[in-house]
Amino acid sequence: MVILLIIGGSASQKLAANIAREMRESLCPMETHKFPDGERYIRIKGEVEDGVIVVQSTGYPHDENLLELFLILKTLKNMEIENIKVVIPYFGYGRQEKAFNKGEAVSAEVVSQLIEFCGASEVYCINLHEDGICDLFQIPAFNLSAIPVIADYLKNKLNDPLIVAPDRGALGFAEEIANIMRCDYEYLEKNRISPEVVETKIKKLDIKGREVVIIDDIISTGGTIVNATEILKKLGSSRILVSCVHPVLVEDSLLKIFAAGADQVIATDTLKSEVSCVSVAGLLADALK
């Protein structure tokens, strides 16, 4: 029998523990702290034999979480562990997968190359902002979808809801959820003016007294969801449930979403947050088995 120890990085300890429970594997003890000057210390304390699964989201603080991941991976590589599966539930820097303007760093490429250099043999991510990130790796890289897990959570909690994508990019998610929940879906037209400012066109939708679920991959500043929520509220929706895979939730974004009229916000635990109530542990455990 192949024994896989599971290491949870600082950003994903609870998720790592839940994956270990789902897989009936053990957690690998690891010591991690910062020196007084702020530099990170890592020590793998478990006896890794056949292989290891490292779980670390690389959301805020991105650079610290990334560096910790690199240190863990390279330590395992130095220990001559060949089977190193890396789970990155939220892939930071995933929105810069190409140079949109001349001279820009292709951050996602640099990150993927460093992960590989440090010793990863396989990579598992969830709802990457761009599917193409998998192609930046020379090793097997998988992009799993948490949408069915979200749909499962929502099932039986709502009465014939309308699933709404807050922009065209999220239309596929809305369709996927609607197919699973056997209900209708729609989308709104969004125009991004800047990283902080978005415009959303008002659309005539017959939703007076109807429950609505908004679905997006990421909630970052909350601008996209705030606009969608305000529009759906004005159209007379009786209940607005906001859902997303990755709750990046910059500053007071959650407050703004509730202030706009959302009744509930739910997200997965790819990132730790106060609305991370849907676990992707089972999804990851199935893929890793």
Q: In what order do the strands lie in the sheet with 141-144?
A: 4-8, 51-55, 84-88, 122-126, 141-144
Q: Which of 219, 231, 232, 275 binds ligand R5P (CB under 6 A)?
A: 219
Assess contact for 94 and 133: CB atoms under 8 A: yes
CA 101 to mean position of chain CA atoms: 26
Q: Which of 15, 223, 240, 280 binds ligand R5P (CB under 6 A)?
A: 223
198 binds ligand R5P (CB under 6 A): yes
Residue closer to ligand R5P by CB (options 224, 243) is 224
208 catalytically annotated: no
**Taking contact as CB under 6 A, which single stretch among the options 44-52, 80-88, 148-156, 163-171 is the one that binds ligand R5P?**
163-171
CB of 235 to ligand R5P, least distance (A): 20
**Cα–Cα distances in angstroms (integers) from residue 209 to residues 56, 197, 206, 239, in the given order:** 42, 29, 9, 8
CB of 105 to ligand R5P, least distance (A): 19
Contacts of 280 by beta carbon, 8 Å cutoff, 6+ apart: 15, 89, 126, 144, 146, 149, 268, 269, 270
**Identified catalytic residue from 74, 157, 190, 234:** 190
Per-residue interface string for the shown chain with ligand R5P, residues 110-149, x marking contact by CB under 6 A: ----------------------------------------
Residue closer to ligand R5P by CB (options 30, 215) is 215
Site for ligand R5P in 199-218 (CB under 6 A): 216-218
**How many residues contact ligand R5P, by CB under 6 A?**
13
**Taking contact as CB under 6 A, which single stretch among the options 81-89, 222-230, 258-266, 280-288 is the one that binds ligand R5P?**
222-230
CB of 81 to ligand R5P, least distance (A): 35
CB of 200 to ligand R5P, least distance (A): 10
CB of 127 to ligand R5P, least distance (A): 9
Distance CA 108, CA 131 (A): 12
Q: Which of 58, 224, 268, 276 binds ligand R5P (CB under 6 A)?
A: 224
92 binds ligand R5P (CB under 6 A): no
97 binds ligand R5P (CB under 6 A): no
- Residues forming contacts to ligand R5P in the complex (CB under 6 A) are 167, 169-170, 198, 216-224
Active-site annotation, residues: 190
